[in-house]
Amino acid sequence: MSADSSTSQEIPNPAVDGSELIRFDKVVKRYGSNVVLDELDFSVASGKHVTLIGPSGSGKTTILRLLMTLVKPEQGTIKVGGKYLTHEERNGKLVPAGEKHVREVRKNIGMVFQQFNLFPNMKVLRNIMEAPVTVLGLSKDEAEQRARELLDLVGLGDKCDAYPSQLSGGQQQRVAIARALAMRPQVLLLDEVTSALDPELVAGVLDVLRDIAHTTDITMLCVTHEMSFARDISDQVLMFDSGRVIESGTPEKIFTEPEHERTREFLSAVL
Ligand SMILES: Nc1ncnc2c1ncn2[C@@H]1O[C@H](COP(=O)(O)OP(=O)(O)OP(=O)(O)O)[C@@H](O)[C@H]1O
């Protein structure tokens, strides 16, 4: 039976596969009568780069928003790093997670959005240092060192003292990537991070992400319409349709030998 997120219940399956970083179990997400995710089961193994593809409205972004706890599921459970995100265990029962518990589990998750969401009144360096100092309790010196290293990583070591408005969209998105990484999350969620950019700025952002994917062990869960990027960085591609994974596999398999008719239709429309 599915877990209802509003009431207490027996813990369904406490055994956790150590290699699993994200796990959705029978997750239902509805908006009114619109069932966006319908008892969705899926998992992401630690260190893997997983890309979600599929038609508009199929529920890809909703998965990332659930992980960021920006929305709550109506039913089902979500675990990150072996801990429930949606629930807490109390006396052998699962109860809806309280804010403190959610904050603790969510520290493992970083997200980069379509819109860069930088603090406009803070310089670039401070944008990156802010959360490590206020949320993780790092000293200002430690946070600054981490921020400078990350700015180098995204190719913006010379922009510490700029305000976001002085940067291009692509540069702002690279700062947003550095800011997400500054929290040292176990998983980085990427939600169509190049869709708001002018075409000439897309490649620079994707190059930075390719570099991060190939040189770090961070787990990535990515929603993108950039199929060549998905092909380059993914260990696994999941094809979504109407809130369900209808096909999954390596990029080679999904992009060259898709099995499902809907996958073939989708790819022929976007490739
Ligand atoms: N806040 C909301 N209120 C009502 N309906 C919503 C809300 N957010 C999303 N939806 C609906 O949920 C469904 C799934 O949306 P979602 O953004 O997850 O799809 P998606 O696969 O990411 O689409 P796209 O590729 O266009 O971004 C859509 O039908 C959308 O209209």
* Structural domain boundaries, residue 189: 109-234
**Nearest of 95, 79, 72, 98 to residue 7 by alpha carbon:** 95
Residue 167 within any structural domain of the chain: yes
From the CA atom positions of the chain, what is the Rg in Å?
A: 19
144 CA distance to ligand 1 centroid (A)? 37
Report how far residue 18's alpha carbon sits from residue 80's, in angstroms, rounded to the nearest whole number.
11
Residue 2 within any structural domain of the chain: no
Residue 265 within any structural domain of the chain: no
Ligand 1 pocket check for 224: Cβ under 6 Å: no
Residue 254 within any structural domain of the chain: no
Residue 27 within any structural domain of the chain: no
Residue 97 within any structural domain of the chain: no
191 CA distance to ligand 1 centroid (A)? 12
Interval 34-79: pLDDT, tens: 999 999 999 999 999 999 999 999 999 999 999 999 999 999 999 9
β-bridge pairing 75-80 and 219-223: unpaired
Rounded mean pLDDT, 17-33: 88
Q: Among residues of the chain, what percentage have pLDDT more than 90? A: 85
Q: Which residues contact 251 (CB under 8 A, 6 or more apart)?
A: 51, 230, 231, 234, 237
CATH of the domain at 140: 3.40.50.300
In which band, very low, low, confident or very high, does the pLDDT at 19 lie, cut at 50, 70 and 90?
confident
The token pair at 33 is 């009568």
Q: Whose CA is nearest to atom 4 of ligand 1?
A: 31
61 CA distance to ligand 1 centroid (A)? 7
Report how far residue 134's alpha carbon sits from residue 126's, in angstroms, rounded to the nearest whole number.
12
Give the ligand 1 atom nearest the CA of 63.
18
Residue 210 within any structural domain of the chain: yes
Ligand 1 pocket check for 56: Cβ under 6 Å: yes
- 10 Å Cβ neighbour count for 217? 8
58 CA distance to ligand 1 centroid (A)? 7
Interval 121-135: pLDDT, tens: 999 999 999 999 999
How far does Cα 95 stand from its chain's mean position? Answer: 25
Ligand 1 pocket check for 57: Cβ under 6 Å: yes
What pTM value is reported for the model?
0.90
Q: Whose CA is nearest to atom 18 of ligand 1?
A: 59
Domain count, the chain: 1
Residue 22 within any structural domain of the chain: no
Confirm if 33 and 80 have CB atoms less than 8 A apart.
Answer: no
